[in-house]
Structure 1
Amino acid sequence: MMARLLHRRHAAMPDYLNTAALIEHARRAEASAPDACACTRTPLDGWQSQPLSLDEARFREIGTLLPEDDPEPTYSEYLPDGTNYWAADAPIAPRYFPYNRCGLWECSSCGRLYLRYTEGGGYFVDRRIRAVRLDLIEDVPL
């Protein structure tokens, strides 16, 4: 946690996006995204390990779903009706894990939005990515 606090003091943090802001960004992106782009070669409807073929240079960070005033957001997940973490139809609930630790990124070529975070375990680090779909965003209180 100390490293995170030091990082915040020395690096410009992206702007915090609440659920309403995420919905507005998703609405604009879905209205303007073309049918195809290089960023859609690998389906990213559900959480995936970030493909090595994904060109990092084509993405720009728009903001974060991690509130600056919350030093340790919940690890509780919101998975109603038998959905699971990996499912393409799992809800995007910004107050719940892993969304509460995500950055919102935009493809500079087509404008599609993606959520990204780094999953860390005892012996691994896995950068994960998921496409944002407006119809899956839910504003669910903790």
Structure 2
Amino acid sequence: MPAALDTATLIDLAQRAEASAPGPCACTRTPLDGWQSQPISLDETQLREIGTLLTEDDPEPTVAEYLPGKTTYWSNDAPIAPRYFPYNRCSVWECLSCARLYLRYTEGGGYFVDRRIRALRLALIEDIPL
């Protein structure tokens, strides 16, 4: 199992990644500022898992979302709140090509499974208690 990451570690990783990858990304043609189904244009072999926000001592993480104001799940400016859904089910991945970090999880619906991905942006991380 990948290393468990707390919010402080996530913030540190995001700071380092943003400092090392200041320019635009050319790794995918699909913008990943908000949640997206993982695009086929993103080469999975260039991603490396570096940790998880899923905690081992919580077998059933909350499905409560933290969406203040008029943000929605799909909003590019929706906060990244690690204790809330879907972040509490995410793994953190690094692009070996551009050094950016991404959050990924699998959304399971009644008749489908959808791998979702979102760029990790430092300015959006919020450490909000449940």
Q: TM-score, normalised by structure 2?
A: 0.97
Q: How far apart, CA to CA, are the structure 2 residues paired with 1:37 and 1:22?
A: 20
Q: Percent identity?
A: 78
Contact conserved, 2:28 with 2:41, CA < 8 A, in 1? no
- Please give the secondary structure, in 2, of the residue aligned with 1:105: strand
Task: Tell me the secondary structure at the aligned position of residue 99 of structure 2.
Answer: coil
* Residue 85 (1) aligns with residue 73 (2): yes
User: What is aligned with 1:64?
Assistant: 52
Q: What CA deviation, in whole Å up to 9, does each residue of 1:56-115 have, x standing for no partner?
A: 000000000000111000000000012100000000000000000000000001110000
SS, match of residue 128 in structure 1? strand
Instruction: Return the alpha-carbon distance in structure 2 between the equivalents of residues 126 and 71 of structure 1.
Output: 21
Pairing 1:127–2:127 present:
no
As a proportion of its length, which structure holds more helix? 1
**In the aligned structure 1, how far is the partner of 2:5 from the partner of 2:44?**
22
What does 1:1-142 correspond to in 2, within 5 Å? 13-142=1-130
Match of residue 9 from structure 1 = none
Structure 2 counterpart of 1:110, which letter? C
The Cα of 1:42 is off from its aligned counterpart by: 1.4
Structure 1 residue ranges, 4+ long, deviating more than 6 angstroms after superposition? none
SS at match of 1:127: strand
Give secondary structure in 2 for the equivalent of 1:117. strand
* Structure 1: tracts of 5 or more residues without a match: 1-12
Q: Shift of the alpha carbon at 1:36?
A: 3.5
Give RMSD over aligned pairs: 0.9
SS for the counterpart of 1:81 is coil
- Contact preservation (8 Å) 2:71, 2:78: yes
| Aligned-residue offset at 1:34 | 4.5
Which entry has the higher C-alpha Rg, 1 or 2?
1
Is contact 1:37–1:109 with CA below 8 Å preserved after alignment?
A: no
